Amino acid sequence: MRVSPMKCLFRVISLAFFMIGLAGFGAAHAQSYPGKPVRMIVPFAAGGPTDLFARVIAQKLAEMWGQQVIIDNRPGASAIIGAEVAAKAAPDGYSLLMATSSSHAANVSLFSKLPYDPVKDFAPISLVGTTPLILVVHPSVPVNSVKELIALAKSKPGQINFAGGSTSAQAGGELFKMLANVNMVHIPYKSNAPGLADLMGGQVQIMFDALNTALPQVKAGKIKALAVTAATRTSAAPELPTMVEAGVPGYELVPWFGLYAPAGTPKDIVTKISADVAKVVKMPDVGEKFRSQAIDPVGSTPEQLASYQATEIVKWAKIVKEANMKVD
């Protein structure tokens, strides 16, 4: 059956108005969001660095939105438990995940099977912040630089040990072993806190720890700091060289925090949350809080986080494979 040109034109115009209506509905949807409290899942215990970081963001978003942003701590299994809960949540914008480099990059290579896909099961929102590790040693270790530590480790193969109570802490030591070509022994811990305690007590000799937890002990003279793992020096301790500056070419390992929603969350809501998070991390008081904890605020777009995550997955795969890293 032949359709007249006028009917075709009418259909095209009707379709155009329908699409405009859809766009308007989406914009209105984002403008009215959130209409109820939002849950922010943290895959680590309360009181830890990720939890403290998430609470600052949650408080500011709550003030901005006029709705509660409730922290839901789901610790355990290298962040797998919390990430799985978030992946299976309704994709409506009311369940968010404060993910880390462990849950959304390292775990891909560390575990043969995950109950979630860090890429397919999530919608990236914003790279919120990054924080380097710090290489610290017990005062009894007779070194004052990374080069001296390498020389000591090479003179005593297998006799130097390092504490690892997190994926990043273990990876810090494994990457050092690989790039410096030294033989050291990993001493596993359930978390970094007891590892740091044993470092201060002299039970272990070396540790790659979170900067915000180790630096106060450095200032108290309980441990010695040799370098940071970022590409550039940190404002929290500008006197410390990077690992590259200290004599380990190619060494860079920077844990990060990223906000995600379940896959399928409306794009307009994702865009709104991303823009609001960017506003939050640019607030002077937020920046001051983060930097006091040795966290560098970022506030990226969803596309930038997706690209960054893809690069990190490749980087972690290389570290895990070449260092033969295993979850102890």
Rounded Cα gap, residues 238 and 236, in angstroms = 6
Considering the domain architecture, whether residues 110 and 146 belong to the same structural domain is answered as no
Out of 189, 210, 228, a domain closes at: 228
254 close to 99: Cβ distance less than 8 angstroms: no
Number of domains forming the structure of the chain: 2
- Please check whether residue 242 lies inside any domain of the structure: no
Region of poorest pLDDT, from 102-106, 248-252, 279-283, 287-291? 287-291
Length of the chain: 328
In whole angstroms, how far apart are CA 195 and each of 191, 233, 324? 7, 25, 22
Place of tokens 């109570």: 165
- Please check whether residue 241 lies inside any domain of the structure: no
Considering the domain architecture, whether residues 69 and 137 belong to the same structural domain is answered as no
- Please check whether residue 15 lies inside any domain of the structure: no
Place of tokens 């090479």: 154
- Please check whether residue 92 lies inside any domain of the structure: yes
- Reading the block at residue 297, the tokens are 């605020």
Considering the domain architecture, whether residues 203 and 71 belong to the same structural domain is answered as no
Domain carrying residue 315: 33-131+255-322
Considering the domain architecture, whether residues 299 and 260 belong to the same structural domain is answered as yes
- Please check whether residue 1 lies inside any domain of the structure: no
Considering the domain architecture, whether residues 140 and 210 belong to the same structural domain is answered as yes
Identify the band that residue 292 occupies on the pLDDT scale cut at 50, 70 and 90: confident
- Please check whether residue 3 lies inside any domain of the structure: no
- Please check whether residue 250 lies inside any domain of the structure: no
Considering the domain architecture, whether residues 118 and 162 belong to the same structural domain is answered as no
Considering the domain architecture, whether residues 123 and 156 belong to the same structural domain is answered as no
pTM more than 0.75: yes
**CATH code of 85's domain:** 3.40.190.150
- What torsion do the CA atoms of 210, 216, 219, 222 make, to the nearest 10 degrees? -80
pLDDT at 8 (0 to 100): 44
Cβ neighbors of 215 (< 8 A, separation 6 or more) are 134, 225, 236, 237, 294
Average pLDDT over residues 93-99: 98
Considering the domain architecture, whether residues 107 and 189 belong to the same structural domain is answered as no
CA 77 to the chain's CA centroid: 16
Q: Is residue 5 predicted with pLDDT exceeding 50?
A: no
From 194, 210, 197, 168, select the one nearest 327 (Cα to Cα).
Answer: 168
- Please check whether residue 57 lies inside any domain of the structure: yes
Place of tokens 């939050």: 280
pLDDT tens string 116-161: 999 999 999 999 999 999 999 999 999 999 999 999 999 999 999 9
In whole angstroms, how far apart are CA 282 and each of 42, 106, 295? 22, 28, 13
**CATH code of 196's domain:** 3.40.190.10
Out of 184, 211, 228, a domain closes at: 228
Out of 228, 247, 270, a domain closes at: 228
Considering the domain architecture, whether residues 90 and 138 belong to the same structural domain is answered as no
Query: Most confidently modeled of 2-11, 23-32, 99-108?
Result: 99-108
Place of tokens 């359930």: 190
- Backbone phi, psi, residue 237, to 5°: -150, 70
Considering the domain architecture, whether residues 142 and 224 belong to the same structural domain is answered as yes
Considering the domain architecture, whether residues 297 and 152 belong to the same structural domain is answered as no
Chain mean pLDDT for the chain: 91
pLDDT at 35 (0 to 100): 97
